[in-house]
Amino acid sequence: MTPRSFAELGLPPSVLNAAREAGFIEPTPIQVAAIPPGLAGRDVLALAETGSGKTAAFALPLLAMALEAPAAAGPRGLVLAPTRELAVQTAETLRGLAAALPRRLKIGLAFGGVSINPQLMALRGGCDLMVATPGRLLDLIDHNGLTLAHVRTLVLDEADRLLAAGFEAEWRRIEGLLPATRQTGLFSATFPAALQGLAEGLLRDPLRIALASAPPDIRQRCIQVDAAQRTPLLRHLLATEGWQRVIVFVATRYAAEHVSDKLWAHGIQAAALHGELSQGGRAEVLAALQSGRVRVLVATDVAARGLHIPALDAVVNHELPRSAADYTHRIGRTGRMGHAGTAVSFVCADSPTNAESHFRLIEKRQGQRVPREQVRGFEPRAVASEMQATGGIEGRRPSKKDKLRAAGLHPPNGSTA
């Protein structure tokens, strides 16, 4: 019989009370599947869709472990996250739950892009649980601010990103500093087959959880438009679709600022979110979107994972993401927690990155064909031919970069309008 309450999952009374204080009433499927083995100390590989409750699925067992573990010079639990936004949200979840516990637990948080000194000061006296991005975690260790020698439980949140090439060197160094005997949990919404072998080397007899839950209610649209008309088309959609809260994804910091400024110039409350924004600036922008002071967030892929924005009406791919996995995470910001959402992608025949071919690859990876459409008044001057759509531009042989971009393995050039 499937548990219908957190009381049936084996949580210690104090942690169960903390869950109730936080408003947790009925566990989600990923929580039902992952919490009992997490409490039992078993390794877990958990795949579940964005917005399914993965954070609480590992946070509650982490808190139970920390309450029972003896005091140590370093954290007994470590959560690694690929972005500061995800690290901040995870730490906030843990701190919110820990506030109701009978014994005070110290939750450390570290991420790059800000001064390391306050983070070093905050870790004086140690911490019970640590949430960090990989690069800043290593910085803290190099400054003798942290040791991983006492970690009993390791969690990789958005494990596909953390085990990918961009983080591999950092991860290998962190792995060498961790105790060989530990519990490990890998949690993600997507997990490419290429990373399966790497994951198997990290886990001991793991419980594999892959939930076939109902897909989120997201209406996908693909609009053909000339590159120069994307922002005017975006303004038109904002005026006609009734969206009140929107994320627009672009490829570069400059594009985020540029599109945001263009929207403001036309009376649309917009703000940019990108990796070069300070943490305080990021928090202010997100708070403005959630409160309604800002209607449109123009963001790079720093916003594609880990952000939970209630009742987000739409996601617009002003520029296509680099990979099908990034597309899944981008559109997963909408259609969450029972709400319907819309995901719109602009595809430009005049794009130097062969956008039609790239979007067809995305469709193939997600096993879904999205009908092409055009909006009156914004019809493109040219539409990609079959030759272009299958990998090349008429009159020119595809270069190596063209082929890599079409396969989602090379970052597209960032255009701005």
Same domain, 224 and 206: no
The residue among 329 and 109 whose pLDDT is bigger is 109
Q: What's the pLDDT band for 408 if we cut at 50, 70, 90?
A: very low
Same domain, 79 and 113: yes
Average pLDDT of the residues in 203-221: 82
Same domain, 357 and 249: yes
According to the model, what pLDDT value does residue 334 have? 85
Q: Each residue of 369-385: pLDDT tens digit?
A: 999 999 999 999 876 54
pTM above 0.75, yes or no: no
Same domain, 127 and 237: no
Q: What's the pLDDT band for 404 if we cut at 50, 70, 90?
A: very low
Same domain, 175 and 322: no
Same domain, 170 and 239: no
Average pLDDT of the residues in 320-339: 81
DSSP helix, strand, coil percent of the chain (3-state; round to 5): 40, 15, 45
Averaged pLDDT score across all residues of the chain = 85
According to the model, what pLDDT value does residue 24 have? 77
Instruction: Judge whether residue 391 has pLDDT over 50.
Output: no
- CA 206 to chain centroid, in Å, comes to 23
What CATH number should be reported for the domain holding residue 164? Answer: 3.40.50.300
| Residue 1: inside a domain | no
Q: What's the pLDDT band for 240 if we cut at 50, 70, 90?
A: very high
Q: Each residue of 158-172: pLDDT tens digit?
A: 888 888 767 888 988
| Residue 414: inside a domain | no
According to the model, what pLDDT value does residue 69 have? 87
Write down the residue that tokens 């014994």 correspond to: 103
According to the model, what pLDDT value does residue 395 have? 32
Q: What's the pLDDT band for 213 if we cut at 50, 70, 90?
A: low
C-alpha to C-alpha distances, 253 to 51, 284, 315, 400, nearest whole angstrom: 26, 17, 18, 26
Average pLDDT of the residues in 79-84: 92
Q: In sequence order, what are the residues at sequence separation of 6 or more whose Cβ sits closer than 8 angstroms to the Cβ of residue 268?
A: 235, 238, 295, 296
- CA 334 to chain centroid, in Å, comes to 13
| Residue 416: inside a domain | no
Instruction: Judge whether residue 14 has pLDDT over 90.
Output: yes
Average pLDDT of the residues in 123-140: 95
Instruction: Judge whether residue 254 has pLDDT over 90.
Output: yes
> Rounded CA gap, 9 and 27, in Å?
9
Average pLDDT of the residues in 200-221: 82
For residues 317 and 234, the answer to whether their CB atoms sit within 8 Å is no
Instruction: Judge whether residue 228 has pLDDT over 50.
Output: yes
For residues 155 and 82, the answer to whether their CB atoms sit within 8 Å is no
Last residue of a domain, one of 210, 241, 260: 210
According to the model, what pLDDT value does residue 405 have? 45
Same domain, 73 and 148: yes
Question: Range with the lowest mean pLDDT among 29-33, 390-394, 398-402?
Answer: 390-394
According to the model, what pLDDT value does residue 72 have? 80
Same domain, 109 and 137: yes
According to the model, what pLDDT value does residue 397 have? 40
Same domain, 111 and 250: no
Average pLDDT of the residues in 22-26: 75
Same domain, 185 and 262: no
Write down the residue that tokens 């903390």 correspond to: 18
Domain residues for the domain of 270 are: 218-406
Same domain, 113 and 251: no
Same domain, 174 and 255: no
The residue among 212 and 57 whose pLDDT is bigger is 57
Q: What's the pLDDT band for 61 if we cut at 50, 70, 90?
A: very high
Burial 289-324 (b: 16+ CB within 10 A, else e): bbeeebbbbbbbbbbbbbbeeeebbbbbbbbbbbbb
Find, among 230, 220, 219, 221, the residue nearest to 349 by Cα. 230
Helix (H, G, I), strand (E, B) or coil at 120: helix
Instruction: Judge whether residue 287 has pLDDT over 80.
Output: yes
Q: How many domains does the chain have?
A: 2
